[in-house]
A = this chain, B = another copy of it.
Amino acid sequence: MPYRELIQSGRKIILAVVDGLGGLPVLGGFTEMELAHLPNLDMLARRYPVGALEPVAAGITPGSGPAHLALFGYDPLKYRIGRGILEALGVDMEVRRGDLAIRGNFATVRDGVVVDRRAGRIPTEENRRLIERLKAIDEVKGVRVIWKSGKEHRFVLLLRGEGLSPEVAETDPGKEGLPPREPEPLSPTPQARFTAEVLREIVERASQLLKDEPQANFFLLRGYAMLPDMPTFEEKWGLKAFGVASYPMYRGLAKLVGMTVPSDTPDFESEIEALRRNWNDYDFFYIHFKDADKAGEDGDWRKKVAALERFDSYVPRLLELGGVLAITGDHDTPCLIRGHSWHYVPLVIASERAGVPTAWHFTERESLTGALGLRPSTDLMGLLLASAGRLKKFGA
């Protein structure tokens, strides 16, 4: 695609992601967006073009990682973000190119056999105490070793140094009654062998530090992942980007593509405020609204309707900022499915230039026949750049 060669300056752009936006009929044939009273969003849908986005491909339900990458214009099938990295982002760790991110579980081992893969789901405070102790292991063979507690038995282990590889066996045997596996290299490369040696030493030293614990006397490692080699958002789209979210994972995804991301945005109110404060210094603003997804996962349509209505009440504040405003979701989370889904996600782009208006309401149904079309989510950035006047003519 020739976007890079066509970039010019133009208006600012806001991408507001309502996590889990769309749904399916839940009451009397009406969907969540149809049941919600959304005067501001409906006003946008009447004045501006709507459309709908397919996150990854026909029938593919995306996790938040691929769903966000697609909205940011990265092919989610090409750039895979592994489990360890998402876990690291979720506990607010910085992940740099070359780092190896690993999911850890405290576990109970007796007589060389895993008897509890979750160490009885020890309390999070207990986890914190043990991780403090493990921080004594902060360097192995020149590699920096970084530990961070998650909830209950979960933690993240991050290795930072030269020559690491994810091609090493996970030590989690996957079920109880088996011994922990050795971190054997899974490929004959020097990187895999070196990483295996580093992990073996970490496991040995850590098991000494934990050996007298009644429950969490061992840990299991899995989900080894490194960042794919991808261009930054600014390299790709020529936009200085600023991102806000109240959940660490979404902040992490924005950081992955090189956005500037403050960590002091505990709620949507403060997210908007952060955009306002930083308005002059950036071209592109990503803002994340979580509650619709949570309600969808719970299968609670009243709660999802309330979340959508709460988001709607913030729309005037987003419009006040100025710029081209796009509102969509990373994926739908229909209450009927109680989870993410593969369906088209409604989209509206508040710009006179974006296309002809066709809808009366901002809903799952009316978004299917709008001027923005039915498209892969990776198309969104092209539409936004164009609507902001940021793309020159292609050819003469």
Which residues of A are at the interface with B, using a C-beta cutoff of 8 A? 1-3, 6, 24-25, 29, 31, 54, 56-67, 76-77, 80-81, 83, 86, 334, 336-337, 339-344, 352-353, 355-358, 364-365, 368-371, 373-375, 379-387, 391-396
A62, A356, A371 pick with most chain B CB within 10 angstroms: A356
Q: Are A58 and B383 in contact (CB under 8 A)?
A: yes
Name the contact of A374 in the complex, choosing from B76, B374, B382, B385 (C-beta under 8 A). B374
28 A-B residue pairs with Cβ-Cβ distance under 8 Å, sorted by A, are A1-B57, A1-B60, A2-B77, A3-B60, A24-B356, A25-B356, A29-B357, A57-B382, A58-B380, A59-B382, A59-B391, A60-B382, A60-B386, A60-B391, A61-B386, A63-B395, A86-B396, A336-B352, A337-B353, A340-B393, A341-B353, A341-B386, A342-B383, A343-B371, A356-B365, A358-B368, A373-B374, A374-B374
Q: Are B352 and A76 in contact (CB under 8 A)?
A: no
Q: Are B375 and A365 in contact (CB under 8 A)?
A: no
Residue on B with the closest CB to A375?
B58
The distance in angstroms between the C-alpha atoms of A246 and B337, with both chains bound, is 38
- Give the chain B neighbours of A380 by CB distance below 8 A: 58
- Other than the given A2-B60, A59-B381, A62-B393, 10 more pairs (CB < 8 A) read A3-B60, A24-B352, A58-B380, A63-B394, A65-B396, A66-B394, A86-B396, A344-B371, A358-B365, A368-B370
Closest chain-B Cβ to A336's Cβ sits at a distance in Å of: 6
Given contacts A58-B382, A394-B60, contact A364 B368 (CB under 8 A): no
- Give the chain B neighbours of A1 by CB distance below 8 A: 57, 60, 77
Name the contact of A80 in the complex, choosing from B59, B64, B395 (C-beta under 8 A). B395
- Give the chain B neighbours of A381 by CB distance below 8 A: 59
- Give the chain B neighbours of A80 by CB distance below 8 A: 395
Residue on B with the closest CB to A392?
B61
Closest chain-B Cβ to A252's Cβ sits at a distance in Å of: 12
Closest chain-B Cβ to A53's Cβ sits at a distance in Å of: 11
- Give the chain B neighbours of A392 by CB distance below 8 A: 61
The distance in angstroms between the C-alpha atoms of A392 and B57, with both chains bound, is 13
Q: Are B24 and A65 in contact (CB under 8 A)?
A: no
The distance in angstroms between the C-alpha atoms of A340 and B371, with both chains bound, is 17
Closest chain-B Cβ to A279's Cβ sits at a distance in Å of: 23
Closest chain-B Cβ to A351's Cβ sits at a distance in Å of: 10
Q: Are A65 and B395 in contact (CB under 8 A)?
A: yes
Name the contact of A58 in the complex, choosing from B66, B341, B379 (C-beta under 8 A). B379
Closest chain-B Cβ to A212's Cβ sits at a distance in Å of: 34
A25, A342, A370 pick with most chain B CB within 10 angstroms: A342
Given contacts A344-B373, A368-B370, contact A76 B382 (CB under 8 A): no
Q: Are A356 and B352 in contact (CB under 8 A)?
A: no
Residue on B with the closest CB to A369?
B369
Q: Are A383 and B59 in contact (CB under 8 A)?
A: yes
The distance in angstroms between the C-alpha atoms of A342 and B352, with both chains bound, is 14
The distance in angstroms between the C-alpha atoms of A25 and B46, with both chains bound, is 12
The distance in angstroms between the C-alpha atoms of A237 and B368, with both chains bound, is 28
The distance in angstroms between the C-alpha atoms of A231 and B304, with both chains bound, is 43
- Give the chain B neighbours of A339 by CB distance below 8 A: 393
